[in-house]
Amino acid sequence: MQGLSKFILKLTGWTLEGSLSASPRLIIISAPHTSMWDFIWGFLFARAVGIKPKFLIKYKYFFWPLGPMLRALGAFPVYPNRHTQFYQKMIEQIKNSTSFYLIITPEGTRKPVKRWKSGFYKMSRDTQTPLQLGTVDYKNRKLILGPVFHPTGHQEEDMHKIQGWFKAEWGKHPEKYIPHPPSDL
């Protein structure tokens, strides 16, 4: 699948930039998330760099026959406003895995949001798994793996740094992304 993914990306004019962290467990944060295409390019990118990622998708997409296909690709359904043990199960799965790559779009939607969901930060901290920033840069047709970030425990400060790395112009629909002040990452 790695060779095929690289071939498809090359054929469609996309280039890969950056490198994957050497950590065997990683939470990859991807933004801006403004299009369904983000999933396709992001999945091909992950496979092209040699990982089989896990990812979170709203439960409403887990209908027949799409649901079984999504699960086979590594998807976990997310049920909003439902009291489940989802977070704890994710923590246990990350901690008990020798190799685990989770891709998260912290906006949680393709619509503009003022505030990101912070579950990825808590997961990273609770499992001592580094975060790697990544994006689908539609403007330059690049799939970018950026810096690795280790939470310090100062969530507000850390989130400001993380969000400041991402640029609205990278999104397929930049107008759907609310940018944050640039950071020094």
pLDDT digits (tens, 9 = 90+) for 57-95: 889 999 999 999 999 999 999 887 766 788 898 999 999
pLDDT of residue 181: 79
Region 157-164 average pLDDT: 94
Q: What is the spatial distance between Cα 169 and Cα 154, in angstroms, rounded to a whole number? A: 28
Coil/strand/helix, residue 28: strand
Region 111-116 average pLDDT: 89
Q: Is 104 within the bounds of a domain?
A: yes
Q: What is the spatial distance between Cα 46 and Cα 143, in angstroms, rounded to a whole number? A: 10
Q: What is the spatial distance between Cα 165 and Cα 146, in angstroms, rounded to a whole number? A: 9
In DSSP terms, 145 is beta-bridged to 134
Q: What is the spatial distance between Cα 89 and Cα 79, in angstroms, rounded to a whole number? A: 14
Region 20-29 average pLDDT: 96
Q: Is 152 within the bounds of a domain?
A: yes
Region 152-172 average pLDDT: 95
Range of 124's domain?
2-131+144-176
Q: Is 185 within the bounds of a domain?
A: no
What's the pTM?
Answer: 0.91
How many folded domains does the chain comprise? Answer: 1
Q: Is 138 within the bounds of a domain?
A: no
Q: Is 136 within the bounds of a domain?
A: no
Q: What is the spatial distance between Cα 120 and Cα 102, in angstroms, rounded to a whole number? A: 9
Task: For residue range 140-158, list pLDDT tens digits in order.
Answer: 999 999 999 999 999 999 9
Q: What is the spatial distance between Cα 6 and Cα 46, in angstroms, rounded to a whole number? A: 10
